[in-house]
């Protein structure tokens, strides 16, 4: 199983204080990687450091807004000096705004695209030169069901995550010759704070209609757990996936394969 080990590798997982990013980071660290993460404020970075400490991981955290190119370049340089060259980048930080499209302001739309699409470009651009010099690297972009599907209220998110799938393919196309693999993970509906409003118990004690809809729409008949993403992340970060490039691995309990239950 040595091909799955990440000993000696430095991994940066953006926004990884809790949720999907934290679980992926934990898996990479368990496979041997040295873990680095960032978030928007010192307070959330401290929270992350506490979370990692609790599970026995000695992570390093940086305050950095992933949409700020200058700050990202500075952080990547600082990581290089303090920890080492980044071998694995996971573009995890993301936001969603659930607003009907005709009611959505252009600035809200831009903000979602800025965090979910422009930032992965900024991060990848910052780490690629050292990966090229070092002779290889792994970039994992956290995509979504919405890289393939649309639904009411998530126009900006779907546009950004669809774009992120194509950015993934383009990075693979442009930098594959340098032994750099860029792949995506497309989580299905995963129980995290981001999806909490869709799972809130109703006043009458019943499950949220969206919650019931997702369980009915998923062949696995459940929401995903963040731990469902651990194995796929280690695979795509490790040399076990050295000839996998430009792929999006959907971890969705089968949603994309399913037409839905017949009435």
Query: DSSP character for 192?
Result: S
Options 15-23, 80-88, 149-157, 163-171: segment touching ligand GCO (CB under 6 A): 149-157
Q: 244 and 169 in contact (C-beta within 8 Å)?
A: no
157 counts as catalytic: yes
Beta strand 10-14 with 180-187 is unpaired
Q: Cβ 181 to ligand NAP, closest distance in Å?
A: 19
**Calpha distance 33→28 (Å, rounded):** 6
Residue among 105 and 194 whose Cβ is closer to ligand GCO: 194
207 binds ligand GCO (CB under 6 A): no
Measured distance CA(245)–CA(256) in Å, rounded: 20
Maximum C-alpha span of the chain: 60
Burial label for 68, CB within 10 Å (0-12, 13-18, 19+), is middle
Cβ atoms of residues 96 and 189 within 8 Å: no
Size of interface with ligand NAP, in residues (CB under 6 A): 27
- From the list ligand GCO, ligand NAP, none, which binds 151 (C-beta under 5 to 8 Å, kind-based)? ligand GCO
Q: 48, 137, 184, 187: which one contacts ligand GCO (CB under 6 A)? A: 187
Report the nearest approach of ligand NAP to the CB of residue 161 (Å).
7
Helix (H, G, I), strand (E, B) or coil at 243: coil
Binding residues among 184-203 for ligand NAP as defined by CB under 6 A: 187, 189-190, 192-195
Q: Which does 44 bind (CB under 5 to 8 A by kind): ligand NAP, ligand GCO, none?
A: ligand NAP
Check binding of 157 to ligand GCO (CB under 6 A). yes
Catalytic residue (choose from 18, 52, 62, 157): 157
**Residue 194 contacts ligand GCO per CB under 6 A:** yes
Bridge partners, 185 (sequence order): 142, 249
The number of beta carbons lying within 10 Å of the beta carbon of residue 152 is 8
Q: Is 145 in the site for ligand GCO (CB under 6 A)?
A: yes
Kindly identify the residues of this chain, within the stretch 115-134, that bind ligand NAP according to CB under 6 A. Answer: 115
The Cβ of residue 197 has, within 10 Å, a number of other Cβ atoms equal to 11
Consecutive H or E run containing 142? strand 137-142
Site of interaction with ligand NAP (CB under 6 A): 14-15, 17, 19-21, 38-40, 44, 65-67, 92-95, 115, 142, 144, 187, 189-190, 192-195
Site of interaction with ligand GCO (CB under 6 A): 96, 98, 144-146, 151, 154, 157, 187-189, 194-195
């Amino acid at each position: 199983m040595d091909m799955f080990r990440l000993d000696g590798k430095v991994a940066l997982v953006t926004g990884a204080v809790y949720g999907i990013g934290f679980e992926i980071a934990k898996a990479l660290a368990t496979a041997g990687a040295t873990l680095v993460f960032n978030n928007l404020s010192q307070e959330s970075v401290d929270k992350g450091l506490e979370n990692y400490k609790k599970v026995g991981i000695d992570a390093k955290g940086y305050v950095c807004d992933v949409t700020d190119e200058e700050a990202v370049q500075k952080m990547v340089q600082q990581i290089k000096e303090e920890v080492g060259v980044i071998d694995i980048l996971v573009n995890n930080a993301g936001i969603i705004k659930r607003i009907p499209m005709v009611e959505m302001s252009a600035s809200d739309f831009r903000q979602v695209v800025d965090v979910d699409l422009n930032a992965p470009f900024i991060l990848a651009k910052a780490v690629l030169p050292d990966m090229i010099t070092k002779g290889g690297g792994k970039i994992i972009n956290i995509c979504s069901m919405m890289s393939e599907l649309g639904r009411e209220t998530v126009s900006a998110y779907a546009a950004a995550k669809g774009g992120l799938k194509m950015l993934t393919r383009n990075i693979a196309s442009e930098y594959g010759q340098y032994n750099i693999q860029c792949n995506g993970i497309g989580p299905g509906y995963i129980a995290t704070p981001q999806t909490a409003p869709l799972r809130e118990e109703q006043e009458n004690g019943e499950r949220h209609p969206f919650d019931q809809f997702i369980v009915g729409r998923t062949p696995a008949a459940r929401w995903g757990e963040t731990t469902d993403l651990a194995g796929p992340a280690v695979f795509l970060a490790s040399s076990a996936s050295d000839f996998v490039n430009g792929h999006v691995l959907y971890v969705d309990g089968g949603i994309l394969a399913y037409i839905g239950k017949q009435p």
